[in-house]
């Protein structure tokens, strides 16, 4: 079997879109358009849908990265109905959540599409009934939970029979980021999916996800055969307004005010604990907000009821843990509030992504205080059942969220997209985030930081051949003692802590700025278990060192009109002050 690829080189280069015209030359073009109109009632394709459909109908593997609400389902639901492609039979969809499957199968049946599901919630009789229809080739689509695929002998035999009878059309891995331990939503059962490509040779694979930084993407790509077509589009959600607010003792009152301002419009409030969900919902009701709570501790009947009430706009607000919402398709969610900081940027992106799926302006709020960061971090590091490297990895993901909250200078959108390795020109934000608004009219001081940037390059030089992540590099520059720093003796380096007086937030901005200017570059490698992204000197590093380029960054001139998001003295301000002298 082919070796997993250990780098993304040559893969990301294929991400440019094919033109829609490519499909019109194919034999299935007419049928595809007919199904789009007549079955799904849609006028046209959204970006990359036609490309994905075309590729899978040609029998090729394809990886689809599309923001939440972008229209991933159509990429596999439509080809499942096409008779004139090179593939025949039933489309198998692996999907991580039962509620998500139920949603989709219900929707498909309404469109008179022959769809069923197989999961642990079905009783044994219904399950074997579905499996026997499946094996007879009578279904167009079947949704299967990952554990059915990995543990059920009956299911495995059914698929083998279908394979032998040539009625296995394609295998779809939805929410494919679940295969990656680097993703925010890792499912051990999804690990089995990395080998379906070997179990069913020649059957096209389609993997879809809304969230993938390069580490996660590498794990997803390994589910497909070498060099799949990777379709990637910008993750910028232009219709979302971003805001981070200081979290004070009256946070629930503040949230109630927000909800009341939205009147009867729909919103989600993400809370950290089950208890928080309950008390917040109750308090909101006392303010006259129509709110219910939702978390994994409720029985499934109550959960479906809460979800349905909200989906059909009978209740306006759900106070929920992150268990709520994956794959739920409510187009008119006008706001999403994080009452506590999320644990990582991927989760944040996914959860905020549930707002504004209909494309209309919607707003996302995050309430943050530094003390809460420390609490959550401690809880992560103390999780006994979790292996040490995973715990530390989770803590480093949380650190990124803290830095995002603390960074009151750079465009929020730019920061979020940076996490997905996407460069974004903050002018395109058009004042749709708190930082862009706050920095408007504010005199921004443009400072030359070339000499500091050189220290970053020098640090990488002195580290030599060791692999370092951007975070480790930031730690070394700002003199933070971590396990890695100690183990690798980085604290003995001459330049260790050379930028410590500028603050962690500034150092992070600087390193990310250098990455976006090719002074540094990132690369992804597969270790013994996972893929990891590291940084090294980039193409422009020698230009910088030879004074052929200057690095400039913006700082706010004063903090009079701007308070730090956590109420402490803003680091940007102190940095700017240093630079003014
Ligand atoms: P994702 O899985 O990417 O989050 P979905 O597949 O659930 O998104 O689709 C989100 C919404 O977009 C659905 O309401 C769907 O009907 C709609 N949609 C998908 N494709 C199109 C299209 N080509 N034209 C109009 N609406 C579409
Ligand atoms: Mg989806
Ligand atoms: Zn902005």
> Closest ligand to 173 CA?
2
Give residue 46 CA to ligand 1 midpoint distance, Å: 8
Give residue 101 CA to ligand 2 midpoint distance, Å: 10
Q: What is the pLDDT of residue 94?
A: 95
How far, in Å, CA of 19 to CA of 549, rounded? 38
Atom 18 in ligand 1: residue holding the nearest Cα: 71
DSSP state at residue 344: S
Rounded to 10 deg, the angle between the 274-286 and 251-261 helix axes is 60
How far, in Å, CA of 442 to CA of 401, rounded? 25
- Specify the ligand 1 atom closest to the Cα of 70: 3
- Specify the ligand 1 atom closest to the Cα of 36: 23
Q: What is the pLDDT of residue 573?
A: 38
Q: What is the pLDDT of residue 496?
A: 94
> Closest ligand to 350 CA?
1
Q: What is the pLDDT of residue 325?
A: 75
Q: What is the pLDDT of residue 20?
A: 46
Ligand 1 neighbourhood includes 74 CB (under 6 angstroms)? yes
Question: Phi and psi dihedrals of 515, rounded to 5?
Answer: -65, -40
Residues 6+ apart with CB under 8 A from 343: 184, 376, 380, 394, 397, 398, 401
Ligand 1 neighbourhood includes 42 CB (under 6 angstroms)? yes
> Closest ligand to 327 CA?
2
- Specify the ligand 1 atom closest to the Cα of 49: 23
Atom 5 in ligand 1: residue holding the nearest Cα: 71
Give residue 250 CA to ligand 2 midpoint distance, Å: 36
Rounded to 10 deg, the angle between the 504-516 and 450-463 helix axes is 80
- Specify the ligand 1 atom closest to the Cα of 66: 3
C-beta atoms surrounding 23 within 10 Å: 20
pTM of the full structure = 0.69
Ligand 1 neighbourhood includes 379 CB (under 6 angstroms)? no
Strand segments (E) across 107-167: 115-118, 141-144
Give residue 574 CA to ligand 1 midpoint distance, Å: 46
Per-position pLDDT tens, the chain of length 581: 334 444 544 444 334 344 444 566 778 888 999 999 999 998 888 889 999 999 999 999 999 998 877 889 999 999 999 998 788 899 999 998 888 899 899 999 999 999 999 998 889 999 999 999 999 999 999 999 999 988 889 999 999 999 999 999 999 999 999 988 766 677 888 888 888 999 999 999 999 998 767 888 888 999 999 889 999 888 899 999 999 999 999 999 999 999 999 999 999 999 999 999 999 999 999 999 999 999 999 998 999 899 999 999 999 999 999 988 765 778 899 999 999 999 999 889 989 999 998 889 999 999 998 889 888 988 998 888 888 878 888 888 898 898 899 888 889 999 999 887 788 888 899 999 999 998 887 777 888 999 999 999 999 999 887 889 888 999 999 999 888 888 889 999 999 999 999 888 889 889 988 887 889 987 877 776 666 778 899 999 999 999 999 998 877 775 443 343 444 444 443 443 343 32
Give residue 504 CA to ligand 3 midpoint distance, Å: 21
The preferred substitution site among 69, 71, 350 for testing ligand 1, maximizing ligand atoms within 8 Å of CB, is 71
Give residue 544 CA to ligand 1 midpoint distance, Å: 45
How far, in Å, CA of 285 to CA of 256, rounded? 9
The preferred substitution site among 73, 328, 333 for testing ligand 1, maximizing ligand atoms within 8 Å of CB, is 73
C-beta atoms surrounding 488 within 10 Å: 16
ipTM over 0.95: yes
Give residue 235 CA to ligand 3 midpoint distance, Å: 14
| Beta bridge partners of residue 144, listed in sequence order | 94, 118
Atom 21 in ligand 1: residue holding the nearest Cα: 71
Two tokens, residue 324: 């709520």
Give residue 29 CA to ligand 1 midpoint distance, Å: 20
Ligand 1 neighbourhood includes 479 CB (under 6 angstroms)? no
Give residue 311 CA to ligand 1 midpoint distance, Å: 16
| Beta bridge partners of residue 556, listed in sequence order | 444
DSSP labels, 222-264: TTS-SS-EEEE-----TTEEEEEEE--TTHHHHHHHHHHHTTT
How far, in Å, CA of 217 to CA of 76, rounded? 19
Give residue 327 CA to ligand 2 midpoint distance, Å: 5
Ligand 1 neighbourhood includes 77 CB (under 6 angstroms)? no
Q: What is the pLDDT of residue 27?
A: 84
Q: What is the pLDDT of residue 485?
A: 87
């Amino acid at each position: 079997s082919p070796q997993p690829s250990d780098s993304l080189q040559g893969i990301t280069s294929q991400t440019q879109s094919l033109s829609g015209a490519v499909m019109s030359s194919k034999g299935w073009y007419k049928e595809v358009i007919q199904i789009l109109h007549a079955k799904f009632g849609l006028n046209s394709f959204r970006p990359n849908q036609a490309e994905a459909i075309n590729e899978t109908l040609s029998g090729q593997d394809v990886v689809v990265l599309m923001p939440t609400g972008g229209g991933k389902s159509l990429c596999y639901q439509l080809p499942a109905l096409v008779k004139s492609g090179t593939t025949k039979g039933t489309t198998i969809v692996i999907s991580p959540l039962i509620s998500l499957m139920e949603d989709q199968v219900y929707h498909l049946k309404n469109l008179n599409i022959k769809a069923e599901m197989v999961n642990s919630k079905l009783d044994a009789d219904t399950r074997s009934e579905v499996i026997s229809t499946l094996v007879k080739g009578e279904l167009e689509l079947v949704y299967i939970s990952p554990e059915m695929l990995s543990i059920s002998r009956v299911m495995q035999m059914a698929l083998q029979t279908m394979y032998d009878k040539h009625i296995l059309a394609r295998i779809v891995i939805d929410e494919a980021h679940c295969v990656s331990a680097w993703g925010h939503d890792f499912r051990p059962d999804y690990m089995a999916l990395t080998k379906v490509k070997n179990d069913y040779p020649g059957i096209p694979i389609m993997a879809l996800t809304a969230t993938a930084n390069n580490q996660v993407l590498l794990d997803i790509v390994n589910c497909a055969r070498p060099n799949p077509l990777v379709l990637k589009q910008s993750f910028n959600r232009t219709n979302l307004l971003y805001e981070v607010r200081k979290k004070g003792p009256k946070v629930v009152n503040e949230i109630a005010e927000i909800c009341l301002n939205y009147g009867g419009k729909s919103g989600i409030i993400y809370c950290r604990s089950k208890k928080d969900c309950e008390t917040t919902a109750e308090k909101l009701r006392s303010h006259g907000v129509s709110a219910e709570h939702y978390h994994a501790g409720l029985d499934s009947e109550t959960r479906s009821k809460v979800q349905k009430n909200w989906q059909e706009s009978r209740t306006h607000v759900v106070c929920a843990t992150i268990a709520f919402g994956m794959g739920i398709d409510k187009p008119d969610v006008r706001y999403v509030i994080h009452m506590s900081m999320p644990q990582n940027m991927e989760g944040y992106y996914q959860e905020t992504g549930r707002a504004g799926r209909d494309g209309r302006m919607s707003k996302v709020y995050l309430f943050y205080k530094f003390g809460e960061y420390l609490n959550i971090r401690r809880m992560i590091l103390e999780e006994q059942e979790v292996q040490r490297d995973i715990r530390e990895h989770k803590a480093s993901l949380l650190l990124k969220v803290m830095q995002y909250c603390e960074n009151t200078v750079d465009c929020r959108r730019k920061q979020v997209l940076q996490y997905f390795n996407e460069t974004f020109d903050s002018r395109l934000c058009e004042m749709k985030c708190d930082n862009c608004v706050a920095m408007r009219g504010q005199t921004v001081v443009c400072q030359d930081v070339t000499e500091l940037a050189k220290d970053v390059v020098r640090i990488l030089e002195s580290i030599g051949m060791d692999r370092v992540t951007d975070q480790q590099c930031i730690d070394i520059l700002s003199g933070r003692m971590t396990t890695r720093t100690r183990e690798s003796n980085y604290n003995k380096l001459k330049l260790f802590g050379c930028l410590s007086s500028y603050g962690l937030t500034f150092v992070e901005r600087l390193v990310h700025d250098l990455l976006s200017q090719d002074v540094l570059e990132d690369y992804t490698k597969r270790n013994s278990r996972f893929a990891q992204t590291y940084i090294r000197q980039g193409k422009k590093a020698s230009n910088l060192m030879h004074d052929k380029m200057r690095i400039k960054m913006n700082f706010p001139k004063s903090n009079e009109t701007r308070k730090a998001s956590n109420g402490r003295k803003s680091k940007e301000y102190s940095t700017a002050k240093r630079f003014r002298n």
